[in-house]
Amino acid sequence: MIILVFAALIFPACKKDSAKNSGDKPIPAVSFGPKVDTSLVTPGSMVETQRLYQFLKKNFGYKTLSSVTLTIGTTTELDYLKTQTGKQPAMAGTDFMDSGRGYNWFNDNWPINEAKAYWDQNGIPTIMWHWRDPSRKTEEFYANATAFDVSKIDDPASDEYKAIISDIDYVSGLLKVLQNEHVPVIWRPLHEGANGSFWWGAKGPGPYRKLFQLMYDRIVNYNGLKNLIWVYTTEPNDADWYPRDQYVDIVGRDMYTSGDHSSQSAEFNRIYALYGGKKMVAYTEAGSIPDPDNLQRDGAAWAWVNIWSGDYVTGTTWNSLDLWKKTLASDYVITLDKMPSLKN
């Protein structure tokens, strides 16, 4: 899903005159960023990936990036926002959900084509993966609809392990196309594992953690990908699920609260503290937009806020058009027209 993030940064020792000298940066109530990891978890990351990470880090606590997830195979959300508000988000998200499944109605390259197209406009591509049953016995990803057993990850001779590796290698090939084009990607796999909804989290924290680590090793060390920023999507009380710091660049949180345009600052503060301030924190899936005024007032420094696709963007139940206009026009929200080129 796609997120719009709004953050204000306040250093306790700041005075009004020093804030005035900092240009458009607000006076924050909490200092975010000094402890955030200075480098990516992937050794030798592509230079454009490093630039993107440093751009996110520079703005963490001062600005939030707007983001939306695209309906599969379309640019509906981008087109709607451009027509209705004159603006487009800084980030656009696609999904490998239907890639590699042999569907004759789907172009497997759609996610990477859209990622490249947005990068060419100075936008930031983000890709997730609703990973359908690797065994191909079903086309499902929800745990209650497939019997795929992720715990077999402990047995490299098992059919499940081999299917997992095959799918990871296929996706690696798609991501490598982007690497060859010098396109960095905010990569968010295996989302919401600890809530048990998906097969990758159905067998508890041990297999989930091993799967995340195996994916990292296969993509980075075996397939040689250097263009990814790795995002882990946290859930409450999921300390045992966390893949560990060396596999995670940014921590995300997914929350759907219809008509609630609060900053969700309590959740931001909890997550930021939980990871010791070492990881930037993003609102990786949202239904309702946090009002920029609330984000600024509360110092909820979400690195970005991503609003999910479809009616979450184009309907009026979750977000009014007036709020979209306010959010995308806000000085605290980075939109596509405010994005610098990170290519050079």
Active site residue 77: no
Choose among 91, 74, 81, 134: nearest CA to 5.
91
Q: Which of the following is catalytic: 114, 192, 235, 267?
A: 192
How remote is the C-alpha of 102 from its chain's centroid? 26
Active site residue 192: yes
**Which string of DSSP letters, residue by residue, matches 89-144?**
BSEEEEE-TTTTS--TTS-TTHHHHHHHHHHHTT-EEEEE-----TTSS-S--BTT
> In terms of C-beta density within 10 A (0-12 exposed, 13-18 middle, 19 or more buried), how is residue 33 classed?
middle
Q: What's the distance, Cα to Cα, between the start and end of the chain in Å?
A: 29
Write the CB contacts of 99 (distance below 8 Å, at least 6 apart in sequence). Answer: 106, 108, 109, 110, 111, 170, 171, 174
Active-site residue set: 192, 285
